[in-house]
Amino acid sequence: MIEIDGKSLTIEQVTAVARGAAPVAPLSESVRAEMTRSMEWLRGVIERDERTIYGVNTGFGPLANRRIRPEQASRLSRNVVLNCLAGVGDPLPEEIVRAMMLVRANSLAKGLSGVRPELEETLIEMLNRGVTPEVPSKGSLGASGDLAPQAHVAVVLLAEPAEGAEPPDGGKDFSGHAVYDGERLTGEEAMSRAGLARVRPEAKDGLALTNGTDFMVGTAALAVADAESLLAHAEIAAALSLEALCALSAAFHPALQEASGQPGQMAVAARLRSLFVGSDLIDTEPYRVQDAYSLRCVPQVLGPPHDLLGFLRERVTTQLNAASDNPLVFMDLPGQEPGTLSGGNFHGQGPALWMDVMGIAMADVGGIAERRIFRLLTAELNGGLPAMLIENEGLDSGLMVAQYTAAALVSDNKTLAHPDSVDSVPSSGNQEDHVSMGANAARHAREIVENVRTIVAIELMTATQAIDLRRDGPSRLGRATSAAHGKVREHVSKLERDRQLSPDIETMVGLIRSGELLKAVEAATP
């Protein structure tokens, strides 16, 4: 079980809960005690009406100077959720919503948000019992955090206040929508079927659930995990293409890489050399002086993303364990009484920059892969293989249009890679006068990764077809690339005549997603 304590959540744990339905453990007594301590202090301050605390007994944004009465705190908590239900667009994938929920639960576990353990425990049980709120994909500025996406989660969890005041929509306790057991239901019905009671809000519950970086960071965690796996598959695809084109190994010599001094470049070159071990295709055309850039510069192009993903893993992991709502309750400030501090931990400029850079890096991984696909299909460039990698040229067109698809995705990535983090549209009466657009950056980076996964799938298909057309090609492969070739052929047969290619491409995308190909290659790599 995944234990959350506000300080040790990992990208792997997020992935396990978001995609594999790994269970989340009940809160430890120490976490419960820390949460209860700050909640009771905050509750006492509100009941005594002894100080002004933003968003707890005041309005929001430019309305922060409007003080409310203590007995209105629970209504305010509910209202901030209703007010933020402004998301639009197609629903987010369930895995992203589950990642968001886990990130929020972990943030609350730090005990700085001033909310009850019961709120946290309900969120955990929603994950464990499979209640996934329906969250529109667009509407967040990435500051004050991901208000709209998180509100669409919070409305399923939070019911109307207990004081009996009539709900603002004419008596209806609006609960949003959620998926439970594969069925789209109202949030109230989904919670009921799962055996869960919705929580009546207290002061700050609504703010603590809506204010933060959950969508940006949850999406980033999944994107980093996917990009790391995808980069390893891109190296395998490149190795198969290099063998299919009888590339020269000199470009990957250790001394050449060490002369550059770039760790990612050296790592990629070492990986390629290990994939080539035993090859009888590499260096079989010695009359060539050097290869094209898309072949000999693989380490220089894939190396920087390798380095970047190491940095992103570190930063995203830190952000997974951050308290990102506002204000925060601090019980043990040196030399001070317990109190709240208002700041901007919800601001997503970091995630925005990180996802922008990752999108740019991964877009180029796809760009160089498409150039190798083109080279493999072009008779003037592929070293004696049939045009379009089909033996019955003319009547059949082979993999011609698969390259079109790859090219279209490369072009799509160029648009998606335009940085979102340089944009800002002031909002909330200019109180929020600089926003991160980190939610857009996260969505776009994820889409780029998905596009690149398809491009790499097409390269794997294309390189495998080329090797089959090379004289005794499969038997001349290196040990690891032979394992890759064999695994591809278990799922997609050689193209003998024209056929529908979309199913083959989707099958290869699924093979990459599953990690089965990577495991087979790693088992065969010296």
What whole-number distance in Å separates Cα of residue 64 and Cα of residue 56?
10
How many CB atoms neighbour CB 349 within 10 A? 18
Handedness of CA 111, 117, 119, 122 (dihedral sign): positive
CA distances from 175 to 83, 92, 162, 193 (A): 13, 18, 15, 14
CA–CA dist 441, 124 (Å, integer): 27
Q: DSSP state, 109? A: T
Give CA–CA dist 297/291, Å, rounded. Answer: 9
**Contact status, residue 208 vs residue 238, Cβ threshold 8 Å:** no
Residue 189, phi then psi, degrees to nearest 5: -70, -40
Dist CA 472 CA 491 (whole Å): 21
CB count in 10 Å sphere of residue 22: 17
Euclidean distance between CA atoms 455 and 368, whole angstroms: 10
Strand ranges in 54-99 using DSSP code E only, listed in sequence order: 88-91
The string of DSSP letters for 186-248 reads EHHHHHHHTT-PPBPP-TTHHHHHHSBSHHHHHHHHHHHHHHHHHHHHHHHHHHHHHHHTT--
Distance (Å, whole) CA 466 – CA 462: 6
Describe the crossing of helices 516-524 and 502-514 by its angle, rounded to 10 degrees.
Answer: 60
Q: Whole-angstrom Cα distance, residue 520 to residue 370? A: 24
Tokens of 219: 């999406």
Kindly state the tokens that stand for 240: 């198969």
Residue 293 appears among annotated catalytic residues: no
Between CA 359 and CA 416 the distance in angstroms is 8
The closest of 81, 201, 86, 90 to 153, measured between CA atoms, is: 81
Beta strands per DSSP E along 38-86: none
Copy the structure tokens of residue 289: 């002086």
CA 128 to chain centre: 21
Q: Give Cβ neighbours of residue 367 (< 8 Å, ≥ 6 apart).
A: 410, 413
| CA 37/CA 308 separation, integer angstroms | 40
The residues carrying an active-site annotation are: 54
